[in-house]
């Protein structure tokens, strides 16, 4: 444990509303620092994203990648602009390119409901939604992004699933379920989501997950196909704990679950590898709302809480984990007292930021 730790954070504000929610998050972290007893952060702001690609022809520079690799963690804003595409017609996605360059394989999407805010499901148990989707992100279908082969009027893309890739994300999921079980004092459960009935790649994924499950008897394991899980998420999302799955399927399930819990604007995201980690909101850049002050910064702030938890584990610094809990409680209290614009209210970026900061200061 450091006596007076100082953490280097690479910050890429991103596109659209990204810089606005990142600025909110940095203000919140500066206030939080006052409560963490000597811990401090050096924020190194870097360029990257769709707008940067439009101006320079590169999603980010080699220097930016090097700075991200040197940093203790990477904090991203929302990335991407629908009109800015690669020559193959796919959108420029700096976050995808960054995590592939840094071999970041586990996509973590925690999703929970806030009781005061409107929920999609009428069932009163919807307020109990508290699940995590874990995506394998180094392979699967989406790893073919930018690698499609054009054959006359056909594009061929591939899905690759390996034993190594499946095993490391499965181990991540079971360890996460074990930690959640201890902190929430309930049984841990991992649901393997696949299409093993149709695809040999996903049959291998299920086989490897079952092997890892046998090494974690304290965590319940269950297996289901993606279509069945989608149905059950609509019926009873509160029954799920940790879902582990392939890249493309995981992205769909995570976005779907976030909508059931209220909004993507409340959903943070962590991309974690063995050496590096990236933290950002799960929502898009909403370029049409840029500069209006209407963006909800909660997902970005909660992404910072995930960052503090990860840094705490990496550096054996419990004050950082304590800081993550302070952030989460501050958001909880703020969401019980304000009404964000994206939920039909009048509270925008500045009002939400002030409410979170007030609750941090107590």
In a domain, 113, yes or no: no
For residues 218 and 332, membership in a common domain is answered with: no
Specify if 152 maps to a domain: no
Which CATH number does the domain housing residue 132 bear?
A: 3.40.718.10
* The two structure tokens encoding residue 90: 């796919």
* Residue 153 falls inside a structural domain: no
Picking from 208, 230, 261, the residue at the C-terminal end of a domain is 261
For residue 258, give the nearest of 279, 280, 283 by alpha carbon.
283
On whether both 215 and 307 belong to a single domain, the answer is: no
- Does 139 lie in the same domain as 123? yes
Q: What is the pLDDT of residue 167?
A: 98
Query: Do 177 and 303 share a domain, yes or no?
Result: no
Instruction: Return the structure tokens found at 89.
Output: 């017609």
Longest dimension (CA), the chain: 63
Task: Mark whether 251 and 276 lie in a shared domain.
Answer: no
Domain boundary among 261, 287, 322: 261
Of 236, 261, 286, which residue constitutes the final position of a domain? 261
- What range defines the domain where residue 94 resides? 1-105+268-362
Residue 299 and residue 274 in one domain:
yes
Tokens of 245: 């799955």
- What pLDDT does residue 361 have? 94
Quick one: pLDDT at residue 1? 45
Number of domains in the chain: 2
How many CA atoms, within 13 angstroms, populate the side-chain half-sphere of residue 112? Answer: 14
pLDDT computed for residue 297 by the predictor: 97
Q: Judging by DSSP bridges, how do beta strands 219-225 and 106-112 pair with one another?
A: unpaired
pLDDT tens, per residue, the chain with 362 residues: 446 789 999 999 999 999 999 999 999 999 999 999 889 999 999 999 999 999 999 999 999 999 999 999 999 999 999 999 988 888 998 888 999 999 999 999 999 998 888 888 888 899 999 999 999 999 998 887 777 777 778 888 888 999 999 999 999 999 999 999 998 888 899 999 999 999 999 999 999 999 999 999 999 999 999 999 999 999 999 999 999 999 999 999 999 999 998 888 899 999 999 999 999 999 999 999 999 999 999 999 999 999 999 999 999 999 999 999 999 999 999 999 999 999 999 999 999 999 999 999 98
SS3 95: helix
Q: Which of 78, 21, 12 is CA-nearest to residue 291?
A: 21
One domain, residues 189 and 255: yes
Q: Confirm whether 344 is domain-assigned.
A: yes
């Amino acid at each position: 444990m450091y006596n007076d730790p100082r953490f280097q954070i690479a910050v890429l504000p991103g596109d659209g509303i990204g810089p606005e929610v990142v600025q909110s998050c940095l203000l919140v972290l500066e206030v939080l620092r006052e409560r963490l007893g000597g811990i401090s952060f050096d924020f190194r702001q870097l360029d990257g994203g769709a707008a940067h690609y439009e101006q320079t022809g590169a999603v980010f520079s080699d220097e930016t990648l090097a700075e991200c690799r040197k940093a203790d963690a990477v904090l991203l804003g929302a990335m991407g602009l629908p009109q800015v595409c690669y020559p193959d017609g796919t959108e420029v996605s700096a976050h995808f390119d960054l995590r592939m360059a840094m071999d970041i394989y586990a996509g973590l999407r925690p999703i929970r409901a806030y009781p005061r805010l409107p929920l999609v499901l009428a069932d009163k148990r919807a307020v109990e939604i508290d699940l995590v989707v874990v995506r394998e992100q180094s392979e699967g279908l989406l790893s073919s992004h930018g690698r499609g082969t054009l054959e006359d009027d056909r594009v061929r893309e591939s899905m690759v699933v390996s034993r190594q890739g499946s095993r490391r994300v499965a181990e991540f999921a079971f360890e996460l379920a074990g930690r959640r079980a201890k902190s929430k004092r309930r049984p841990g459960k991992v649901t393997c989501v696949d299409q093993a009935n149709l695809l040999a790649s996903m049959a291998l994924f299920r086989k490897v997950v079952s092997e890892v499950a046998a090494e974690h008897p304290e965590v319940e394991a269950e297996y289901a196909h993606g279509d069945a899980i989608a149905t059950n998420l609509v019926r009873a999302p509160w029954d799920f704990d940790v879902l582990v799955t392939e890249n493309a399927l995981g992205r769909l399930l995570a976005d779907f679950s976030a909508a059931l819990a209220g909004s993507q604007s409340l959903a943070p995201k962590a991309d974690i590898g063995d050496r590096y980690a990236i933290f950002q909101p799960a929502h898009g850049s909403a370029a049409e709302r840029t500069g209006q002050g209407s963006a909800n910064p909660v997902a970005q702030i909660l992404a910072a809480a995930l960052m503090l938890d990860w840094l705490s584990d990496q550096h054996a610094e419990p004050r950082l984990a304590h800081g993550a809990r302070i952030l989460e409680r501050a958001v909880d209290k703020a969401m019980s007292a304000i009404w964000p614009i994206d939920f039909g209210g009048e509270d925008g970026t500045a009002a939400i930021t002030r409410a979170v900061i007030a609750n941090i200061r107590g």
